[in-house]
Structure formats: structure tokens, C-alpha cells
Amino acid sequence: MTINQPLADRLRPKQLDEFIGQEHLVGEGAALRRMIESGNIPSFIMWGPPGTGKTTLARIIARAHRRAFFTLSAVHSGVKEVRQTIEKARKDQFFDAPNAILFIDEIHRFSKSQQDSLLSAVEQGTITLIGATTENPSFEVISPLLSRCQVYVLESLGEHDLSRLLDRALKEDVYLNRLKIEPVEKDELFRYSGGDARKLYNILELVVNAETSEDPQKQIRIDNDKVRQILQQNIAFYDKNADQHYDIISAFIKSVRGSDPNAAVYWLARMVEGGEDPKFIARRLVILAAEDIALANPNALLFANSAFDAVERIGWPESRIILSEAAIYLATSPKSNSAYQAINDAQQLVKQTGDLSVPLNIRNAPTKLMKDLGYGKDYHYAHDYPTNFVREEFMPEQIHRQKIYDPQNNKKEQEIRQRLKNWWSDKYNY
């Protein structure tokens, strides 16, 4: 142990009795504790927020039963690494020795093919799979693999647990227990931690390092103002569950909307380095393509949607390249929010005017009675006419002159504007 080793790693529990939090799983008589104590460990997945003890529990299980322990991160590992690890576990298996544990962090980032590569090893008992995910495994883990795993749900740490963790760090850490540290206020420390033990320890280290940089013997008083001030100075501090998460995604979206590819890729990199879910970023790009580019470049939505599909199939870390390409493409596209404005205006019009009747000529007429009542009468089928267009009234009479869609000043929509003028003359004479 050295002070260069992160505090969270120095204080990682090695036995179940040292573990803090998740009483519903590891408390006396709880399901996960009974499983660990029995030694009968099936494959399972732990689903919960960051810093709630998923990796620590996996290591405790392996240590408690002297099982070979292999770990892979979905961020850095592909199918090749998975197969190599499974093969190593197979070769290391002797007679009645228990099978190895393969721990996969962020298993939700594995693509379908990567998850498929685990199936036979899990089925044959070559490995016991322990997965960790911050996303709902019902949506992120393939059904054949999920059906072979128990799912345990971990919860964000409460204030009581965070307080115990803080006390433990100040009393037991080989470095901190030599310092004079007095936490006079803990509210902001716990708030910025967001129920994440690792983040709590990271913040504590930031505060302590800032205070001892000039005077190692200085008495350190931790209060709310000090925590806020030090975190504001460390702008790289990123929490995908806290306020800065929304600030950074906002900066990313506004950079793309503002047609600045440099800024777009920078904020994308901030999210990538901060551990943001790539599918969250991809979803935002799809929305942005429809809201901010739309008819100025109709291919933008297709491009963004294809990027989202590719991110799902490929997984991490290669998906960062796909996201970069999509962000640059959208940032350098012409912009229009006419479709966004149109649906907003149309919804407002509906709220103002209520349930106006559908004009008789465009009502459905599946029965003779309806036809006799005039449903569908005098409707003109556009494809029966030259250029597949004929003037017809499709709006309720009360609002038939209402303008909703207003083409904006870009090449594609200027073409749309001219086409509407040619078809409708005065009705679409903007």
C-alpha cells in the first residue's frame, strides 16, 4: 500500500464483514450472503449505480472460496479477449477444483456478439460469470445469457452508509489517520458523492490534497464551502448522475446545434472519459438530428439513427469513433428547427381549438351508411391526376387558412417552399 494508490482502492474491503451498504443483499440472512457462505456460486449479474460495491463483492466472493478470478472490462475488451480468458480458465481447471470466476465490468456495453461468446462457457460450467451493470439488464443483456443468471439489484448508498465509509477512511487509512482532519460539515461531501463510495473517497482525496499541498501538518477542516470550491477548481470532475452530467450534455448538444465540430468532439470526449453510457449520447444525437437539422438535411436523421444502431452492435470502446463521426456530421450540417416548431405550433393549435370535426370528404367510409351520409364524398385521389397532385381541403373549415409549417432559409427547404407554392399558390404563398 502506498499513498499513490487511490484511497478507494486502499480501503477496498477484502471480507464480507468489512463491506458497508447493500444490507438487503449481504446483511445477516440476506440472499447474497447466504449464497456466498454456502460456497454454491451460480452465475449472476449485479445491477446498480456506480460505486455501490459490485466489483468489491465479486472480489470478496473469489477470495472467500479461493477461486481463480479473471476480470474484463467491456470498455477495453472484445470477443478475442473474452475467448482468450475462457480458454485460460479452461486450462487452469483441475479435477474437482471449483471453476474460475470471470467478472465483467459494465457488461451492458458488450455487443450481442461479445455476449454470445460467453454462452457456452457459462452453460458448460467452464466459468462462473459475475457481471456488473449500471443499466437495466432486461434491455442490455441478451435473453439466453440473462436466463442463465440471477440478477441482484444494488442501491445507491444512503447518508448513513456514506458516513460510516467516511469514518472508516479517517480512522483506518494508513495515510489519512496520520493527518488532523475534522469534517465539520458533510452535506456537500455526501451530495456530490451521489451515493457512490468511490466518488466519496475521490472527493475526500481532492480536499485533503488541496489542503496539505502547502502545509502537510495543517489541521484540515472539511465544510460545505470548501468542498464546493475545490470541486469547481477541478473541472474534469465528472459525475454522470449529478448536475455536471446535464451541463456537459447541454454543452455537447449546443455545440452541435451551433455548428462547431471542435467543441462537439471535445464535449464528447469529456463524456467518454467520464464513463457516460454511449447509447445515451447516441439517443441525444438522434433527437438533435430531428429537432435541429431536420429538413435542412433529411439524411441527418438517417445518419444519426444508423449511428445509434452501430453503437448497439459494436459496443465499447470502438463506439466512440462512431459517435465522433456522427457528432461531426451533424455539427457540419445545415440547421433547421421547422419540423420541431411545426409540431409545437400544431399541438398548441389543437389545445386552442379543441376537437374540430374531420371534413366529410376525407373521412373513412367503410360502410354503405357512411357513404350515404357523405363520408368520403368528392374526395380526389391524388394519384389519378398529373404530377400526383390535386387541390383539396384537408384542414377543418375553422382553421383552413392556418399556417403551421414554415420552411426555413436553407437550400433543401427553399426547394420545399417553391414546390408548395407551385402546388398551392396562395395557400402556401409565404
* Residue that is written with C-alpha cell 433543401 in the block: 412
With cut-offs at 50, 70 and 90, classify the pLDDT of residue 164: very high
CATH homologous superfamily of 22-153 equals P-loop containing nucleotide triphosphate hydrolases (3.40.50.300)
What is the dotted CATH code of the domain comprising 243-331? 1.20.272.10
pLDDT of residue 244 exceeding 70: no
Q: What pLDDT was estimated at residue 237? A: 53
Q: What pLDDT was estimated at residue 216? A: 62
Same CATH topology for 22-153 and 159-233? no
pLDDT of residue 77 exceeding 90: no
Question: pLDDT: is 360 or 181 the higher one?
Answer: 181
Per-residue HEC secondary structure of the chain comes to CCCCCCHHHHCCCCCHHHCCCCHHHHCCCCHHHHHHHHCCCCCEEEECCCCCCHHHHHHHHHHHCCCCEEEEECCCCCHHHHHHHHHHHHHCCCCCCCCEEEEEECHHHCCHHHHHHHHHHHHHCCEEEEEEECCCHHHHCCHHHHCCCEEEECCCCCHHHHHHHHHHHHHHCCCHHHCCEEECCCHHHHHHHCCCHHHHHHHHHHHHHHHHCCCCCCCEEECHHHHHHHHHHCCCCCCCCCHHHHHHHHHHHHHHHCCCHHHHHHHHHHHHHCCCCHHHHHHHHHHHHHHHHHHHCCHHHHHHHHHHHHHHHHCCCCHHHHHHHHHHHHHCCCCCCHHHHHHHHHHHHHHHHCCCCCCHHHCCCCCHHHHHCCCCCCCCCHHHCHHHCCCCCCCCHHHCCCCCCCCCCCHHHHHHHHHHHHHHHHHHCC
State mean pLDDT over 146-174. 93
State mean pLDDT over 384-397. 82
Question: pLDDT: is 359 or 146 the higher one?
Answer: 146
Long-range CB pairs of 341-346 (<8 Å, 24+ gap) are 341/406, 342/404, 342/405, 342/406, 345/404, 346/404
pLDDT of residue 268 exceeding 60: yes
State mean pLDDT over 59-85. 84
Which pTM was predicted? 0.57
Cell numbers for 323, please give them: 459517435
Q: Decide if 304 contacts 245 (C-beta within 8 A).
A: no
Rounded Cα distance between 110 and 103, Å, is 13
Rounded Cα distance between 249 and 256, Å, is 11
- Residues 6 or more apart in contact with residue 150 via CB below 8 angstroms: 42, 43, 44, 45
Please list the residues that pair with 44 across neighbouring strands.
130, 150
Render pLDDT for 26-39 as a digit per residue (tens, 0 to 9): 999 999 999 988 88
Calculated CA dihedral for residues 6, 7, 13, 18, nearest 10 degrees: 180
Cell numbers for 303, please give them: 445518419
Q: Would you put residue 309 in left (φ > 0), alpha (ψ -120 to 50) or beta?
A: alpha
Cell numbers for 231, please give them: 470541486
The architecture of the domain spanning 159-233 is: Orthogonal Bundle (1.10)
pLDDT of residue 238 exceeding 50: no
Delimit the domains of the chain by residue range.
22-153, 159-233, 243-331, 352-428
pLDDT of residue 243 exceeding 60: no
With cut-offs at 50, 70 and 90, classify the pLDDT of residue 215: low
Q: What pLDDT was estimated at residue 1? A: 37
pLDDT of residue 73 exceeding 90: no
State mean pLDDT over 164-172. 94
With cut-offs at 50, 70 and 90, classify the pLDDT of residue 94: low
Q: Ranked by mean pLDDT, which of 205-214, 238-247, 330-339, 396-405 comes out on top?
A: 330-339
With cut-offs at 50, 70 and 90, classify the pLDDT of residue 232: confident
